[in-house]
Amino acid sequence: MSEELNPFKIAQQQLDNVAKLLDLKKGVHEYLRHTQRELTVNFPVKMDNGDIKIFTGYRIQYNNVRGPCKGGIRYHPDVTLDEVRALAAWMTWKSAVVGIPYGGAKGGVVCNPKEMSQNELERLTRRFTSEISIIIGPEKDIPAPDVYTNAQTMAWIMDTYSMIKGYSVPGVVTGKPISIGGSLGRNEATARGCMFVIREALKHLDYKVIPPEVWRKECEDDGSSICDGDEGTGYRIDGAKVAIQGFGNAGSIAAKLLSGKGAKVIAVSDTRGGILNKDGLDIEKVIEHKAKTGSVIGFEGTELLGHKQVLEVECDVLVPAALENQITNDNVDNVKAKIVAEAANGPTTPEADQILSDKKIMVLPDILANAGGVTVSYFEWVQGLQSFFWSERDVNVRLKEIMVKAFENVLEMSKRHGVDNRTGAYIVAVKRVADAIMHRGIFP
């Protein structure tokens, strides 16, 4: 029997497993298995050559019982309705596991941004925004960047929505440029949050970490990328070997931050393939190489790997930072890491997840490991509502506090129930959402 790779069915299965442990009431369980609202739009875009092309987009609101819906928008040729449903569900649990007052949503457009000009992407974004404007808003549903979208995409969404409303509405999106109300630290937030939980996991596994009194002198007082506001409380992770699949925003910044903490990043990959140097990669130079050539492939002094071969490199920490369903029955037996930190959403299938657990490999699940992005998105939203903006150091310190606390909550719940970290994270998250449902009740 082939392994189930439908992302929404996987998301529902993950919920079902936890519902039994929590003894959820049947009605609450059924409520949480379904999306709350789904919008599918087919819209025209004028291409640079004058042709009109029809694109399909989705915006799914999974649950708003704990607050406004929150979730990114991705542009990718393989976007499907079930993928967006699953991502919206995971956003719901992600917001709950770190304790921020959001529900979950997600959006996507079926397109290949690599084959589109900047002008075409702008027209697509503005038209898609106008189509979904009926359900988004700073008190309802707040989009953010995701795969192949960025701060510029968010600026176009914010401007289009503002033109529809007739006044400026910066709070309609997060992850936007600083010049129009973005937050310092937002671009690095997903990777930084992942770095924080990786470091906590290494400490938990008694990995040799160097305490702050040894390296404090290296820190600057302004909360730079080296310090993250860690002066006196942080730990370096010198020598930890790291492999990262995916070298986009999350993957490349995670590589930079982890190497800045003393880790040895030995392998990275992008969609074209991967590279390996067992003595460690100069991440700054790898980033420069990719900017010049479009890929990490060909970096001097490295061994060529396939995109998925990076998942099989012997290392202390493996960071899947690409797309879902990367660690499956087909390759899980070849995973040789001590820790798998899911910077991507849904990179591990349930069957592979069980095998990792049986192999005593610690998994830092996506709803915990990559929750730094939505956490700092919440900070951006709060700053915008107050029109009072924080320093990058303040952002980083608050992010660290939330991520460390979330890791501790998940670990404690995992130990209490004798389950793996993913199940522990779901117990924390689902209970918080279920409690909110029970307290609010059903209207009317």
List, by residue number, the catalytic residues. Answer: 106
Structure tokens at 331: 């390759």
Spatial CB neighbours of 392, under 8 Å, sequence gap ≥ 6: 184, 185, 222, 223
Burial class (CB in 10 A: 0-12, 13-18, 19+), 331: middle
Angle at 129 between CA 124 and CA 134, to 5 degrees: 150
Note whether 17 and 361 are within 8 A (CB): no
Torsion of CA 402, 403, 408, 413, to 10 degrees: 90
Phi and psi at 305, nearest 5°, equal -125, 160
* Residue 244 DSSP code: E
The rounded distance, in Å, linking the Cα atoms of 289 and 294 is: 8
Spatial CB neighbours of 186, under 8 Å, sequence gap ≥ 6: 174, 175, 373, 376, 377, 379, 380, 395
The rounded distance, in Å, linking the Cα atoms of 183 and 274 is: 32
Question: Residue written as tokens 């069980």?
Answer: 354
